[in-house]
Amino acid sequence: MRQIWNNKGTGKKPENYYGYSTELEGLSCYSEASIPSSSEVLYSVHSSSSFSSLKRKGSDSTMRPASSVKILLIEDSLAEARLLQELLKDSLGEPFSLVHVKRLGEALNQLNDSIFDVVLLDLTLPDSQGLESLARLIEQVPSLPIVVLTNTNDDELAIKAVRQGAQDYLVKRQVNGSVLVRSLRYAIERKHNLESLKAMNQTLEMRVQERTDELVKAQEQNQMRSEFVSMISHDIRNPLNTILASTVLLQDYEQKLSADKKVTLFQRIRSASKNMAQLLDEVLLIGEADSGQLQYQPKTINLEVFCRQLLEEMQLDSTDESPINLSFNLSVKDVFVDPKLLRRILINLLENALKYSPQSQSVQFNVIIQDQMIHFCIQDQGIGIPADSFSQLFEPFHRAKNVGSIPGTGLGLAIVKHCVEAHGGDIWLDSKIGIGTTFIVRLPLIQIS
């Protein structure tokens, strides 16, 4: 049994920078409490330069206002690391804080624990070679700008590095302080612009998708309206034609018609008029439900009497020979429901059960009160409902693919859904092709003393 319808951040790590100072091989430096002993803070200097005002949006790193740019240097040579530190120190007083690691693994750990603004990456490391190092860094921190360093003047490698995601490529022996600082500044700015562009593109894609979904929905609604007008026109035209033909016969051949024939024609007019009124009522109810104006007006009724009278009325108005077997298991008989909405629920489900069942096949209708719920179980031995129709079964105008020429508007189950919703209930469905369908409607049991 399937229930087909039922009414019922990560924060950034705190910046614990510059926790204490230490001396490293005669160099005055600033260290972080979070940096392991295998890493070196080679130099930290502050100035009033505007370099510190750069910020990368949409990333895991944010520049600290009026503070230094934090650089992660991945370089296995201490001499090369010192040289780069001296170049930065002597270059136009730009503010920076340089953390040095010798292996890519150490760098990845640093990026897990700390926030950096830019990476200087040597492509020749003990635990990683070439562009593999760049790829692993980008995989872990895709928004972090990276400047690649190498001893080789290899243009092809430079192009590959930039294409793979590096913001710049520098040959160590050809770098001076101003070139290095300019490269870092431009790398941060380019990455910032790239991330901003990506964010704008994502926003634009979302808006385009939302607009596309709106257009598709509008197109579907227009198509549904067209189908609705066509169906309603067809379904109203048929009873109108019946009424017209019958009245013409009564008017033009009144003297020639027998009493029994006249009675038959009047019954046809009455039945056609009733079908038209019922169709218009269904359309109005769907409109009220969609606009939130469907009224729920419950009152106390005798449930057994209500169901028996409903079946009697259906049998009087129907020519169907299929019997409806009604049974009750009620702990109480007086319940608090909206009789008009309940009537629509039961009539639509029972008429569908009769309509889609072979002639003379019985329909079982059980009414049970259990676990503070009223259960209406309607079981037929009809054509069944394909599983791929379940998701749309309660949409207006939807009809299963296997109904063939059996007449219908596709409004009945949509009305059932709205009426059950008004009661705060739910609907369960079990169906197999060629075997039959069982609907169970459950409404809350409300007793008014």
pLDDT of 28 > 50? The answer is: no
42 close to 85: Cβ distance less than 8 angstroms: yes
Q: How confident is the model at residue 217 (pLDDT cuts 50, 70, 90)?
A: confident
Q: What CATH architecture does domain 299-444 belong to?
A: 2-Layer Sandwich (3.30)
**Quick one: residue 83, left, alpha or beta (phi over 0 = left, psi -120 to 50 = alpha)?**
alpha
Rounded (10°) angle between helices 339-355 and 412-423: 150
Q: Give the Cα separation of 424 and 420 in Å (integer).
A: 6
32 close to 114: Cβ distance less than 8 angstroms: yes
Q: What is the DSSP letter of 174?
A: G
32 close to 41: Cβ distance less than 8 angstroms: yes
pLDDT tens readout for residues 333-389 = 899 999 999 999 999 899 889 888 888 788 999 999 999 999 999 999 888 888 888
pLDDT tens readout for residues 260-310 = 888 888 988 888 887 788 778 877 887 777 777 788 999 999 999 999 999
- Poorest-confidence range of 7-16, 89-98, 274-283, 388-397? 7-16
Residues 6+ apart with CB under 8 A from 136: 104, 108, 128
The alpha carbons of the chain give a radius of gyration, in whole angstroms, of: 39
**What percent of the chain is predicted at pLDDT more than 90?**
23
- DSSP 3-state of 99: strand
pLDDT tens readout for residues 220-236 = 777 766 766 676 676 67
CATH topology of domain 69-175: Rossmann fold (3.40.50)
Q: How confident is the model at residue 87 (pLDDT cuts 50, 70, 90)?
A: confident
One-letter amino acid for residue 334 of the chain:
D
* Annotated domain spans of the chain: 69-175, 211-294, 299-444
Higher-confidence position of 329 and 195: 329
**3-state percent breakdown (helix, strand, coil) of the chain, nearest 5:** 45, 20, 30
Q: What is the rounded end-to-end Cα distance, in angstroms, of the chain? A: 34
Give 363-366's long-range contacts (Cβ < 8 A, gap of 24+). 363/322, 363/323, 363/324, 363/325, 364/324, 364/325, 364/327, 365/307, 365/311, 365/324, 365/325, 365/326, 365/327, 366/326, 366/327, 366/328, 366/329
Q: What is the mean pLDDT of the chain?
A: 78
Query: Tell me: domain 211-294, CATH 1.10.443.10, correct?
Result: no
- β-strands 299-302, 334-337 pairing: antiparallel
- Poorest-confidence range of 16-30, 42-56, 111-125, 261-275? 16-30
> Residue 377 to residues 368, 372, 374, 431, 442: CA-CA distances in angstroms?
8, 16, 10, 13, 9
